[in-house]
Amino acid sequence: MPANGQKTGSRRRPRGTGPWDPWTGADLGAGEWISHSPAQEAGLDVPRYCPECGRRRTVQVTPHGWTAVCPRHGETSSAESEQR
C-alpha cells in the first residue's frame, strides 16, 4: 500500500494537465512524446520535473541518489522511486 497516497499512477486527465514527463517536462497527457537519453532510461539522471504538475522541482543530489522537491507535491527521492 502506498505510504501517503501521493502516487496513484495513471489517472486520466484533460489535455494540457499532464501527466508530465519527469525528465523533459513534456506534456504526455497532450500527446507530446519524447525520447529519453540512455542515462534517463537507466534511471541515472535526476527527473527534474514533477510528473503530477509539470513544475520544475528543486533537485539535490546526495551520495545515495537524489531528492526532488515539488513546490506543490513535496519531496520524492531516488530511494522512493526505485523501491525494491
Q: Which residues bind Zn ion (CB under 5 A)?
A: 50, 52-53, 70, 72-73
- Asked if residues 70 and 47 have their Cβ atoms less than 8 Å apart, the reply is no
Q: Which is nearer to Zn ion, 12 or 84 (CB)?
A: 12
Q: What are the backbone angles phi and psi of residue 55, rounded to the nearest 5°?
A: -75, 155
Least distance to Zn ion from the beta carbon of 84, Å? 24
Q: Which is nearer to Zn ion, 36 or 73 (CB)?
A: 73
Q: Which is nearer to Zn ion, 10 or 35 (CB)?
A: 10
For residue 55, which of 72, 43, 67 has the smallest C-alpha distance? Answer: 72
